[in-house]
Amino acid sequence: MCAARKKTEAVEIETVDLISLLTIPGQDGMFEAEIALLEPCEEIEMEQSAVQASATTSSAFSSGRPDSLHAKKPAEKAKPVDHSLDTLSAIMKRAPALPGINSRYSSPPGDETPISDDSFEKIVSEIARCEKCELCKTRRFTVPGVGNPNARLVFIGEAPGADEDACGTPFVGRAGQHLDKILKAAGFEREKVFICNILKCRPPENRNPTLEEMHHCTPFLRRQLNLIKPSLIACLGNVAIRFVIGADTPGVTKIHGEWFNSIFGLPVMAMYHPSYLVRSGSRERGSPNWQMWQDIQKLKKRYDESAG
């Protein structure tokens, strides 16, 4: 199993000092250095068959790793492309039919109509077989998403990384560990939310997704949301924010914690990506980690209000 799935002891929360809550006893300096890596993926590789053999309806949706659908593909070098956010924004401005500040997502013909017999298993199977873009040639496992199929809150990042590509589950690396701690400190149970990315395959070398890749993957994400029927979305990081909200949306440092309309017709909060929080390291008031703690509390308040 992925190391990130190992359970930690519950801690009674009495203060709102996020850094104290997230600091492992005896490792007070952990935020000045990078969080420890997960255990080697050899363990993950050895346990793939056992996990897949015991998969249930919900776990199949969460992992997206049925053996008959996932074959390891030979790696191919991707052609060098400029994937900067500035370039992404410029491309999107020239393509008004795609998500932009004054436009909405333009789906392929028939995509706007919900599939009457759609299911999580069907989505996972189609993602696993998808060859709409070149990422199918370099991926190891597809990463559909994980969590509660009836979640009221969905977290959306940009794309899987190396750890996620190795085991088919989103946010299991250092960023995922950090996100887990933040969610727990704020009172969220990861099992009750749904966590996914716009892309279901890892871009080579963890580069930013291209607009074309996101365009191909969005129908899968839309179908997932149609089945989950969440009340709220939290977008993690600039790439996800500018795709889900709009290409001209200011950077996350300016709009974190604010609510916007999304291309999916649901309210979305802009939030820092946990990988940025891990890199920033500062504990000071006004730092990204401190700001994230304020934002997650605002998100939790609205989440609780939506339950009534």
Q: What is the pLDDT of residues 208-237, one digit of tens each?
A: 999 999 999 999 999 999 999 999 999 999
pTM over 0.75: no
Answer whether residue 291 is part of any domain: yes
Average of per-residue pLDDT across 188-197: 96
Answer whether residue 25 is part of any domain: no
Q: What is the pLDDT of residues 26-44, one digit of tens each?
A: 444 433 333 333 333 444 3
Answer whether residue 198 is part of any domain: yes
Distances (CA, A) of 180 to 5, 38, 69, 119, 232: 10, 14, 29, 27, 18
**Residue 81 structural domain:** 40-307
Answer whether residue 20 is part of any domain: no
Q: What is the pLDDT of residue 237?
A: 97
Q: What is the pLDDT of residue 97?
A: 32
Answer whether residue 30 is part of any domain: no
Answer whether residue 1 is part of any domain: no
Phi, psi of 86 (to 5 degrees): -65, -40
Rounded Cα distance, 281 and 89, in Å: 28
Q: What is the CATH number of the domain that holds 93?
A: 3.40.470.10
Answer whether residue 6 is part of any domain: no
Answer whether residue 112 is part of any domain: yes
Structural domains counted in the chain: 1
Distances (CA, A) of 34 to 23, 111, 264: 12, 42, 35
